[in-house]
Structure 1
Amino acid sequence: MPLVAPVTVHKISGETLTEVPDLLAVEEPLEIRLGFGPITDRQQRSVSVTMRTPGHDEELAIGFLFSESIVQKPTDIISCRHCVQDSQKEGNVLRVELHPDVVMDWSRLERNTFTSSSCGLCGKTTIDAVMALTPGPLSADFSIEPAVLHALPERVRQTQRAFAYTGGIHAAALFDVDGKLLLVREDIGRHNALDKLIGAAFWQNWLPLSQFGVFLSGRIGVELVQKSWRAGVPMLAAVGAPSSLAVQMAKEAQMTLAGFVRDNRFNLYSEPDRVIIGQVMAFKA
C-alpha cells in the first residue's frame, strides 16, 4: 500500500481559485490478531484495530504487543504476516503467531490499553498500572549537550519522506548521545509511529534502549511516555508540549522529558541533569 494518495484541491488566494493536484497521507485500519495457545489447541483473537499509515505494519504490531507486555523477547513470536480475509481487508489484517509457551493475560491487556486521551483513568491509577509492567525507575547513564536536541527537529524532518509530500504525518526517531539517528518511523498516528520504532528495535534485540533517546514530531501524551518507559528510554523529546499526566509519569520513571524542542530552545520537565548545561541563569520575579 502507498504512504500517500493523490487528490485534487481548490486553493483560494484572496479572491482567486486555482485547481491543483496534491497528496494526502494514507489512513487505513490495521487489525492485529493473535494466534496463541498450546500446539494442540491453537486459538485466534483480535486484540486491536488501529488507524495507521501502511508500511512497517509488522513493527507496529510487535511494538504494540511489547508495550502491552504481551511479548517480552523476539523468540516469543513465531511469525508475523498479513492475511487476506476478503477483498475489502486485503493488507489490513495482520496475524501474529505467538510461541506456545506464551501465556495470555487478557485482563491485563484490557486494563492497560489506553484507548483515548479521555479514557477515564485517573492519574495515579494509570501510573500504577504502567509501573507494574516496567522494571522500575530508569537509571541509565545517558547525557547529551543542548546542541544535540537543538539539531534534532531539522535532522528528523530531512528523513521524513511522507511528511515532505503531505505535511500530515508524524515521526518517531531513535537517536544516540551524539544526535545520530538510528531509526525513523512515520505514521499518521503518533502512537503508531512510536510503536513502529519500538517494534523495529525489539526485533533487532536492542531493548532496553538505555543508551538512546526518542524524538517525537508532535505533543507528548501519557501513552507515549508509557511506551518509552516500557522500552527503557531515558530521554523523550518532542516538538510539542507534554500533558500534565505525561510529566507526572516521566517523573515516576525518572525519565528526562523535553518539550517544545524547536527554534533553538526547549523546556525540561523532569530529570534535567541528563542535559549538560554550561550556564544557569537564576529566575527573577
Structure 2
Amino acid sequence: MAALLSLVVVPGFFTSEPVRTAVVIGGAAAVVSGVVGVFTVIRGQSFAGHALADVSSAGGAAALLLGINPLGGFLLMSVLMATSMELVRVDRASERDLVTGIVTGAGLGLAALLLYLDVTTSSTTGAAVTVMFGSMFAISASIVPLALAVGTGALLAIGVLYRPLLLCSVDPDLAAVQGVPVRLIGLLYLIVVALAVALSAVTVGAILSTALLIGPAATALHLAKRPGVAILLAAAIGVVATWGGILLAYDSYEWSGGHGWPVSFCIVALIFVAYAVVAETGRGRRRLESPAAGATTHVA
C-alpha cells in the first residue's frame, strides 16, 4: 500500500503547509459550492452565479490594492452585487439577464482598473492571475478561520431556507399561493450564492469559480432524482475534484520539470471530465429508455 501511495503522491505532499491550507479552504469551498449549486441549477440561475463570480473580481483586486484579506474583498463585492440584482424590480427573465449582463460588464471594467492600479502603484506582481484564476498554494493560512466561518454560515443558511427555497425553486407560483415570501427567499438565496462564490474565487479564481458552483451540481443532478441526494453528491464530487486537482497540480512539479500546472486548471478539468462522462452516460440511458427507441430496447 505504501509503495502504491508513493507512486501517486509526491514526497512532501502531506507535510506541506501550503498544501494543507489549500486542502482545507478548497474543501470548504467545494462543499458550499456543491450544496448551493444544486439550487442554482434547479432555479436556472447559472448566469447569475457567473455574474456574481465575475463582479467579485473587483473586490479581490481592491483587496490586493489595499493590502487587506482578499476573501473579504471578494465577499463584500459579491454580496453587494447579489443584493443589487434582487432589489432591482424586473419581472421578465430577459430583462433580468439584461440588467445582470450590464452590471457584470461594469464590474469587470472596475476590476480591470483596480488590477491596473495594483500593478502600477503597488508593484503587485501576478495580481491579475491571482484574482482571475486563483493561486491556491499561495493562500495564507490566516484566511482559514474566516473561510470556515463563511462556509459554515452559508450551510446553516441553506439548512434554514431548505424547504421554502426548494418550493420557490420548483414552483414559485405555488410557493406564493402558500404564503412563502418568494422575493425575500430569492434575496437570501442570492446572498448565500455570493458567499459560495467568494469562497470559490479565493481558491480557483473569480473567472473559474462558476465551474465549482455549477459543474458538480449539474453532474449530481444527472445521477440523483431527489434534491437531498443531489446535494450530498454535488458536495462529494466537488471535494473529490478539488482535492484531486490539488494533488495533480502538486505532482506536476515532479514530472513537468519543476513548472507545475495551475491548481485551478486541474480542478476544473476534473469537474469537466466528470460531467462529460455522466452526461454522456445519461444520454445513452435515455436513448435506451425512449419510446422512439423501442426496437433498440427490445433487442437489449
TM-score clears 0.5 = no
More helix by share: 2
More strand by share: 1
- TM-score normalised by the chain length of structure 2: 0.26
- TM-score normalised by the chain length of structure 1: 0.27
